[in-house]
A and B are shown apart, each in its own frame.
Chain A
Amino acid sequence: MAASTNVAQPALFVRPTWRTGLRSWLTTVDHKKLGILYILSSFVFMGLASIEAFIMRLQLMRPGQQLVSPDFFNQMFTMHGVTMVFLAIMPLGIGFANYFVPLMIGARDLAFPRLNAFGYWVYSLGGLMIYTSFFLGGAPDIGWTGYAPNTSLSANPGLGVDFYMYGLFVSGIGTTATAMNLIVTIINMRAPGMTFMRMPVFVWMMLITSFMIIFAFPPLTVAFLQVILDRTFGTLFYVPEAGALPILWQHLFWIFGHPEVYIIILPAFGLVSEMIPTFSRKPLFGYPVMVLASILIAFMGFAVWSHHMFTTGLGPVVNTAFSLTSFIIGIPTGVKIFNWLGTLWGGNIRFTTSLMYCLAFIVTFTLGGITGIMVAMPTFDAQVHDTYFVVAHFHYAMGGGALLTFLGGVHYWFPKMTGKLLDERLGKAAFWFIVIGFHTIFFPQHLAGLMGMPRRIQTYPAGIGLELWNLMSTFGTFIMGIGLVLFAINVIKTFRSGKPAGNDPWDGRTLEWATSSPPPYYDFDVQPVVNSIDALWAYKHPETLHVEPIDPRKAGREYDPHGIHVPGQSWYPLLASLAIIVGSYGLIYDNLVLAIVSGFFFIFTIFGWAFEGVGGHHVHPELEGERA
C-alpha cells in the first residue's frame, strides 16, 4: 500500500521517481546515495591533492632543482591544503555521517533530505569551481590560510584568489546546512528507546562536530565575504592604507581554523570508537568519559585559536593564556587514547585491516599530539613557526589521525555499502605500504623543520643539512603512493567481483548491521526499537546481557502502522546549487547581469522548493510482496 501523503500541489516539475540511472543520482535525496556521492567525491579530490603533493615532493627531492616554477609551486601547496582540508577529509567525515548516522539511529533519512542534497551539490560544485581556476588563468597561490593582505587586489590581481574565496564560501554554506541537518536528525530521529547515552559514539561525535561547524563556519564566511567585497566591490576591510588591520583576517580565520581541526578529527574518533570495540569484542571502555571528553574538546576548541598566531606579537599575556588553553585541550584528547587502549586491553582481538588502521591511528595521532604540545609552547613555537616541523605536526594529526581512520572505515563499512568484502590480504599489503610510506614522508620533516627549513618554499640550497631528510621524504611518497594504488585496486576489484559479505560480517554492535547489505532504499523493514547501549550486540549475545530484540515484531510490540516514510526526490537542490555557482562565476568575471539573473533564479528555486513540499510515500516492506 504505497500511498502519497501529500495532496496534489501545483508544480513546475513532475516529481522525479527514478531509482536507477544518472537522473536518479541527480535528483536523489536518499542519505545512502548522497553518502556514497560524498565519499566518492572526497576520494577524487584526495587523489587530486595527492598529485599536487607528489609534484611538490619531486620538486623538493634534491636541492636547487627547477622542476616547477616558484609560481606553480605556490599554486600546488595552496590547492593541496585547500583540497585536503575543505574538499577531501572534512567531507569524508560528513559522507560517513550521511550514510551511517540515520542507519545507526534507526531512521530512514536525515530530517531534511532535500537540504542534504543541496549541501552535497554546493560542496562538490564549489570544489570543482575552484579547480576550474587552473584553466582560467591560474589557481590560487596564497596558501590554504589565505592571509590578508596577500589576497588584496593590489597584491594579487589574478582570478585565483577570487576562485578560492567564492569556491570556499559556497561550499561552506553547504557544510553549514548539512551540519544543521545532522543536529536536527540526531536530536529528533533517534529510534524509540535510544536515549542520548545509548547512541553509538560515532553519532555522538557527529552531533558534537555539527555543533562545532555551525559555530565555527560563520566567522570564516564573514572573512570570505569581507575579502570578496574588497575585491569585487572595493570595500576597505583589508586595505592597510586605509587603516585596516590585516591581522583581523587571521583572527577570523583561526576562530574557524582551530575548531576545524576538531571538526576533521572528531568524526575519525567516532569511527575508531566503533571499530575497536567490534574487533576487541568488548564494549567501549568508558563510554560516558569518551562523550564528555569530546564535549570538552568542542568547548575548548573555540578557546585556543591564537596559538596559531604566537609569532604575530599579541604580547606575553595573550600568548600565555592561549598556551594554557592549548595544554588543557590536550587532556581530554589524551583521555580518549586511554579509552581505546582500555577497550583493547583484555579483548578478544581480531587483527583485521580495519583494526590495523585503528592501531596505526593511535600511534600516529599520539605522535602528532606530542608535537602539538611542543608547539603549544610560545617559546618553542617561535623557533619552529612556519617550518617543516609544523608541517610534520599537522600531517601527523590530520593525515595520520583522520586519513588512516577513514581508510580503516572504508574497510569496515564497504561490505555494508556494497554487500562485498574487501580483500584482506591486499588490504593489509596496502596498509603496510601506506603506514610505512606515511612515516617515511613526514618523520624526516620534523628534523628538517628543526634545522630551520621553512614551509612553502620552492627549493633550498645544498650544504645546510637538509638533503637527506628531503630525499627520504620524497622517497616516502613513492611507498605511500604504491599503498594508495593498492587500496584503489582493492576497492575496484572488490566492487567488480568481491566475496558476498552477508549482512553482518564483523559481528557488529550498531543498528546498521541489522539490515541487509547494501540496505534496501527504505533502510529497515520496521522502525527498530532500542533498549540498551549496543542493543544489537546484546540481542545477538544473550549470554552477556538479555535485551529485547531490536525488531519490535519479534518482541511482540506494536510498531508504526503507517509504514516507512520515503521522502520524494527533487530537482530543486541541484538547480539552487547551480544558480549559486553560476552567480559566483558572474561575480568573479564582473558580469553583474549574469549574477543578478542567477540571483533571481535562486529565489525562484527556493520558492519552488518550499511549495513542492517534502512529498514522498509510505512503504510497507514488512508485508510480503512489497519488497523491492
Chain B
Amino acid sequence: MSAHAVDTAAPVAPGSRGAITAHGWRSTRLPDVKLLMWVFLASDCMFFGSLIGTYLAYHNRSLVGPFPIDVLNIPLTTVSSFVLLMSSFLMVLALHALKVDDIPKFRLWTAGVAFFGSIFLGFQVYEFVHFVNAGLSIHQNLFGTTFFILTGTHGIHVTVGVLWLLAFLIQSYVRPTSSKDAVYLEIAGLYWHFVDIVWIVIFTVVYLVEFV
C-alpha cells in the first residue's frame, strides 16, 4: 500500500518542487534545453565510442604504409591540443561575463573561443594536407580510413561549435542579449567542453599511445 499512500505533507500545488515557466509547469528546475544537451552528449559518447572502438579494432592491421609512427607529429599536435584546451578556459570566461551582463567582455571571450577553435581547425587542415602529401589517404590503408574518419568527425564537431558561437556573437549585435540568454551560451559551452574532452581521449589513443 505504500505506493498508494497519499502524500499529505507536501503540497502538490504549483510551486512545491518545480516551477511555472513561460511555457508551463516544469517538474525540475533544470531548463529543458540544458537537459536536452546533457542527453545529447550522453548519446554522442556512444557515437565517438564506436568510432574510437573501430580505430582500436583496426589498430596495427594496415597492410601497407604509411603507418602511424611514420606520419604522426607529436609536438605539432600538442600545440593544437593546447590551443583547443585553452579555448575551454575562454568559454568559462565568456559565460561568466554574460551571466554578469558584461556584454563587451562576453563578446571578446566568445570571439576568442571561436578564434582558438579556428586555430585548432587550421592545424587539422594543415595536418590532413601534410598526411595526404605523405601518401596517407582514406583509400590508402585501414589507418588512413579510421584516422581521417575519427579525427574528421571530431573536426566537424568543432566546426559546428565555432559556427554556433559565431552565430551567438553576431546575434548579440542584432538584438539585445543579456544574462537571460546565459542558459543558451551555457549549453553551447557544455557542447564545447565535451568536444574538448573527446579530443583528449583521441589525442591519447591515436597519438600518444603510438609512441609509448
Report the minimum CB–CB distance from B27 to chain A (whole Å): 4
Known contacts A189-B27, A197-B3; decide if A184 and B44 are in contact (CB<8 Å).
no
* Stretch in B28-36, B67-75, B86-94 touching the partner: B28-36
**CA separation between A533 and B149, bound complex, in Å?**
49
Interface presence of A156 (CB below 8 A): no
- The reply to whether A184 and B39 contact each other, CB–CB distance below 8 Å, is yes
List the B residue with the shortest CB-CB distance to A247: B57
> B residues within 8 A CB of A193?
7, 12, 16
- The reply to whether A215 and B46 contact each other, CB–CB distance below 8 Å, is yes
Known contacts A243-B62, A562-B20; decide if A222 and B42 are in contact (CB<8 Å).
no
Interface presence of A5 (CB below 8 A): yes
Interface presence of A557 (CB below 8 A): yes
- The reply to whether A527 and B25 contact each other, CB–CB distance below 8 Å, is yes
- The reply to whether B36 and A111 contact each other, CB–CB distance below 8 Å, is yes
- The reply to whether B35 and A187 contact each other, CB–CB distance below 8 Å, is yes
- The reply to whether A252 and B42 contact each other, CB–CB distance below 8 Å, is no
* Stretch in A24-32, A231-239, A422-430 touching the partner: A231-239
Interface presence of A341 (CB below 8 A): no
- The reply to whether A243 and B63 contact each other, CB–CB distance below 8 Å, is yes
Q: Which of B3, B6, B44, B145 contacts A218 (CB 8 A)?
A: B44
Q: Which of B50, B62, B149 has the most CB of A within 10 A?
A: B50
- The reply to whether A614 and B23 contact each other, CB–CB distance below 8 Å, is yes
- Interface positions, chain B 1-60, Cβ under 8 Å from A, are 3-7, 12-14, 16-18, 20, 22-28, 30, 32, 35-36, 39-40, 42-44, 46-47, 49-51, 54, 57-58
**CA separation between A552 and B115, bound complex, in Å?**
53
Report the minimum CB–CB distance from A540 to chain B (whole Å): 15
- The reply to whether B54 and A248 contact each other, CB–CB distance below 8 Å, is yes
**CA separation between A237 and B25, bound complex, in Å?**
48
| Chain A, interface residues (CB within 8 Å), range | 35 or more
> B residues within 8 A CB of A457?
none
- The reply to whether A183 and B39 contact each other, CB–CB distance below 8 Å, is yes
**CA separation between A242 and B61, bound complex, in Å?**
8
Q: Which of B6, B27, B40, B144 contacts A532 (CB 8 A)?
A: B6
> B residues within 8 A CB of A221?
47
Q: Which of B16, B26, B43 contacts A188 (CB 8 A)?
A: B26
Q: Which of A111, A252, A564 contacts B50 (CB 8 A)?
A: A252
- The reply to whether B46 and A188 contact each other, CB–CB distance below 8 Å, is no
- The reply to whether A184 and B24 contact each other, CB–CB distance below 8 Å, is no
0 or 1 for each of A102-139: is its CB under 8 Å from B? (1 = yes):
00000110011000000000000000000000000000
> A residues within 8 A CB of B44?
218
**CA separation between A287 and B2, bound complex, in Å?**
11
> A residues within 8 A CB of B63?
242-243
List the B residue with the shortest CB-CB distance to A113: B23
> B residues within 8 A CB of A339?
none
**CA separation between A200 and B20, bound complex, in Å?**
23
0 or 1 for each of A317-331: is its CB under 8 Å from B? (1 = yes):
000000000000000
Interface presence of A278 (CB below 8 A): no
**CA separation between A560 and B47, bound complex, in Å?**
40
**CA separation between A194 and B16, bound complex, in Å?**
11
- The reply to whether A192 and B39 contact each other, CB–CB distance below 8 Å, is no
- The reply to whether B13 and A529 contact each other, CB–CB distance below 8 Å, is yes
Known contacts A236-B145, A237-B54, A607-B167; decide if A180 and B43 are in contact (CB<8 Å).
yes
- The reply to whether A547 and B6 contact each other, CB–CB distance below 8 Å, is yes
Q: Which of A5, A236, A527 contacts B139 (CB 8 A)?
A: A236
**CA separation between A77 and B28, bound complex, in Å?**
47
**CA separation between A235 and B147, bound complex, in Å?**
11
- The reply to whether B39 and A530 contact each other, CB–CB distance below 8 Å, is no
0 or 1 for each of A213-247: is its CB under 8 Å from B? (1 = yes):
01111110111011001000111110000111100
0 or 1 for each of B163-199: is its CB under 8 Å from A? (1 = yes):
0000100010000000000000000000000000000
- The reply to whether B32 and A192 contact each other, CB–CB distance below 8 Å, is no
> A residues within 8 A CB of B39?
180, 183-184, 214
Interface presence of A266 (CB below 8 A): no
- The reply to whether A245 and B58 contact each other, CB–CB distance below 8 Å, is yes
- The reply to whether A215 and B42 contact each other, CB–CB distance below 8 Å, is yes
**CA separation between A180 and B37, bound complex, in Å?**
9
> B residues within 8 A CB of A218?
43-44, 46-47, 49-50
**CA separation between A267 and B64, bound complex, in Å?**
49
List the B residue with the shortest CB-CB distance to A286: B3
- The reply to whether A189 and B54 contact each other, CB–CB distance below 8 Å, is no
List the B residue with the shortest CB-CB distance to A191: B25
Q: Is the interface of A mostly helix, strand, loop or mixed?
A: loop
> A residues within 8 A CB of B167?
607, 610
Interface presence of B141 (CB below 8 A): yes
**CA separation between A245 and B138, bound complex, in Å?**
16
> B residues within 8 A CB of A217?
43
Q: Which of A215, A529, A562, A564 contacts B43 (CB 8 A)?
A: A215
Interface presence of A559 (CB below 8 A): yes
**CA separation between A452 and B50, bound complex, in Å?**
36
Report the minimum CB–CB distance from A118 to chain B (whole Å): 13
Known contacts A176-B43, A243-B62, A559-B14; decide if A192 and B145 are in contact (CB<8 Å).
no
Interface presence of A190 (CB below 8 A): yes
Known contacts A245-B57, A546-B6, A607-B167; decide if A192 and B139 are in contact (CB<8 Å).
no
List the A residue with the shortest CB-CB distance to B184: A610
Interface presence of B142 (CB below 8 A): yes
Report the minimum CB–CB distance from B9 to chain A (whole Å): 11
0 or 1 for each of B102-140: is its CB under 8 Å from A? (1 = yes):
000000000000000000000000000000000000110
List the A residue with the shortest CB-CB distance to B54: A248
- The reply to whether A560 and B24 contact each other, CB–CB distance below 8 Å, is yes
Q: Which of B17, B44, B47, B144 has the most CB of A within 10 A?
A: B47
Q: Which of B16, B35, B61 contacts A192 (CB 8 A)?
A: B16
Q: Which of B3, B12, B16 has the most CB of A within 10 A?
A: B12
List the B residue with the shortest CB-CB distance to A550: B12
**CA separation between A180 and B44, bound complex, in Å?**
12
List the A residue with the shortest CB-CB distance to B61: A243
**CA separation between A530 and B18, bound complex, in Å?**
13
Q: Which of A193, A529, A545, A567 has the most CB of B within 10 A?
A: A193
> A residues within 8 A CB of B28?
187-188
Interface presence of A558 (CB below 8 A): yes
0 or 1 for each of A537-550: is its CB under 8 Å from B? (1 = yes):
01000000111100
**CA separation between A614 and B171, bound complex, in Å?**
17
- The reply to whether B58 and A222 contact each other, CB–CB distance below 8 Å, is no
**CA separation between A548 and B30, bound complex, in Å?**
28
Q: What are the 3 A-B residue pairs with the smallest beta carbon separation, nearest first?
A: A193-B12, A218-B46, A222-B50
Task: Report 22 cross-chain contacts, Cβ distance below 8 Å, ordered by A residue.
Answer: A5-B22, A108-B24, A184-B35, A188-B26, A189-B27, A191-B27, A214-B39, A215-B42, A216-B46, A222-B54, A226-B54, A229-B138, A236-B139, A243-B141, A248-B57, A531-B7, A532-B5, A533-B4, A557-B13, A558-B14, A560-B25, A607-B167
Residues of A within 8 A of B (CB): 5, 107-108, 111-112, 176, 180-181, 183-184, 187-195, 197-198, 214-219, 221-223, 225-226, 229, 233-237, 242-245, 248, 252, 255, 283, 287-288, 527, 529-534, 538, 545-548, 552, 557-560, 562, 564-565, 567, 607, 610-611, 614, 616
A184-B39, A565-B23 given; 20 more Cβ-contact pairs under 8 Å: A5-B22, A180-B40, A184-B36, A189-B24, A191-B25, A191-B27, A192-B17, A193-B12, A218-B49, A219-B49, A225-B149, A229-B145, A235-B145, A236-B145, A237-B54, A245-B58, A533-B3, A548-B12, A564-B24, A611-B171
